[in-house]
Copies of this chain bind each other. A is one copy, B any other.
Amino acid sequence: MLKYNTPTPNATMNTDTPIFQRIKDHITHQIETGAWVEGDLIPSEMTLTKAFNTSRMTVNRALRELTAELILVRRQGAGTYVAAQKVQSTLVEIRNIADEITVRGHEHHAELHRLESVAATDKLAAQLDIQAGQMVYHSTMVHFENAIPIQVEERWVNPAVAPDYLTQDFNQITPNAYLMQAAPLQGMNYKLEALLPTDAIAQMLRIPTSQPCLVLQRSTRSANKVASFAIMWHAGNRYRFVGSD
């Protein structure tokens, strides 16, 4: 474990905030700002007990709750670690289509059709919460399952959040996987609808323009900014979302 300093109380924190909550806030803050990242060993219960001038049970409660929230992982005898970033939700789990295809035992590959820097249109600027005309990164990829095109992924990325986007090798890592690692995910919004494809999309998916598509639009947030906005087109006859509760 590196990068650990005495906790600095947040100015916005009410003095009535329970101690266990202050400890939780401190830890999540370290993770959100990237000071502590996935796999890092964080301070032990005893260290935090002294740092916050409290009792071990109070620290234990904070760490136990963060573990229940899947933010930390604890190993008896070893220590407490920052958990792997996972956002789970019925609809969000399709975020890494490469993994999903591999899990099904099928072969996945992707074709990069476009990777460029473009000026944000008004509409796009609103999606990314930036100024119109500002430069943003844009990529278009097609994902294949056993050589059949399954998803067209068009993505716009906020350079302020992922400045190295254009220099990635997207044959090695999917845009989603890269963004997950480059910018710790805070949350997302999505929209799901059924649409007819444009000619360009139909061509990439190798379907007729009369074939309905399942279209997922999603924006992700990181570091209190909108990190990226993506539109994913799936041929309706080849792809569906499933889940259970």
Contact = CB atoms under 8 A, between A and B. Distances in A.
Nearest to A240: B193
Given A68-B68, A213-B212, A236-B212, A243 B91 contact: yes
A232 to B, nearest CB: 12
Contacts of A65: 68
Contacts of A90: 89-91, 190
B189 A243 contact: yes
Interface residues of A, number: 32
A172 to B, nearest CB: 27
Contacts of A189: 242-244
Nearest to A213: B194
A187 interface: yes
A98 interface: no
B192 A242 contact: yes
Give the copy number: 2
B245 A87 contact: yes
A232 B66 CA distance: 39
A214 interface: yes
A243 B241 CA distance: 15
A196 interface: yes
B212 A245 contact: no
A196 B188 CA distance: 29
A223 interface: no
A41 interface: no
A114 interface: no
The listed residue with most B CB atoms (<10 A of its CB), out of A65, A214, A244, is A244
A87 B244 CA distance: 11
A185 to B, nearest CB: 9
B210 A194 contact: no
Interface in A218-245: 234, 236, 239-245
Interface string A57-69: 1000000010010
Interface of A: 57, 65, 68, 87, 89-92, 187-196, 210, 212-215, 234, 236, 239-245
11 contacts: A57-B57, A90-B90, A90-B91, A91-B245, A92-B245, A188-B244, A188-B245, A190-B242, A193-B214, A194-B234, A195-B236
